[in-house]
Amino acid sequence: MAETRRILLALTSQATKGKTGKPTGVWLEELAAPYYLFLSEGFQADIASVSGGKAPLDPASVEGEQPECVARFLADTKAMDAVNNSKALATLSSTDYDAIFLPGGHGTMWDLPESQALASLLGDAWTAGKVVAAVCHGPSGLVSAKDADGRPIVAGRMVTGFSNSEEEAVGLTDVVPFLLESRLISLGGHYRSGPDFQPFALRDGKLVTGQNPASSERTAELTIEALRSER
């Protein structure tokens, strides 16, 4: 019997939008949609966060009308326990995983780029030929990740992520520490995007990125495609 392949879902631990004090965290659709797709396809999905412990969920992503996967996740005691008692990234090794997936949420913009533990996990995974994926603001975690030669892993590759126009549309251009689209381009990424808030995801070899919350499921599908085609 083949060994179950493992995917690490690495979450933000940032609960506020910088100095504004306004709440943020993980955008739950970007965790829930991939989580259930990975499980349905026979993968093991582990949840960790920058600091470990309770990973914050953006209140706006759990209130009001949301995708079905959000309600399912909130009612799933095993899934919620994994979020509320997440492992710290610094305690993990990339050798234990076949892919690393970064869900977004505005919180990621503050702590993912600053996390040396995440940068090391991603760099080691990439060097070992494993799949690296991120959606929406999750690609902020890619900005510090480097390959074996010290180059940004996004350099020379097609990437997407929350666009400058989408950031402007939600009124947070002057709140986030940097604009994700602009940063990915500055690192040598070949940035592409679709219409604002519509599904759009890209796969460039073992690097998979999605633009926004609506792209969560497609990003997960491409992650599975990359996993199954790497052998």
Instruction: Write out pLDDT tens, residues 182-211.
Output: 999 999 999 999 999 999 999 999 999 999
Q: Residue ranges of the domains in the chain?
A: 6-229
Look up 41 and say whether it is catalytic. Answer: no
Neighbours of 132 (CB within 10 A): 27
209: enclosing H helix or E strand: strand 207-210
Q: pLDDT tens digit string along 113-141? A: 999 999 999 999 999 999 999 999 999 99
Look up 69 and say whether it is catalytic. Answer: no
Look up 137 and say whether it is catalytic. Answer: yes
Q: Which of 183, 177, 29, 175 is nearest to 109 (CA)?
A: 177
Residue tagged active-site, from 29, 136, 181, 221? 136
Mean pLDDT, the chain, as a whole number?
Answer: 97
6-229: CATH topology: Rossmann fold (3.40.50)
Structure tokens at 222: 């491409």
Residue tagged active-site, from 137, 166, 217, 221? 137
Residue tagged active-site, from 29, 30, 167, 221? 167
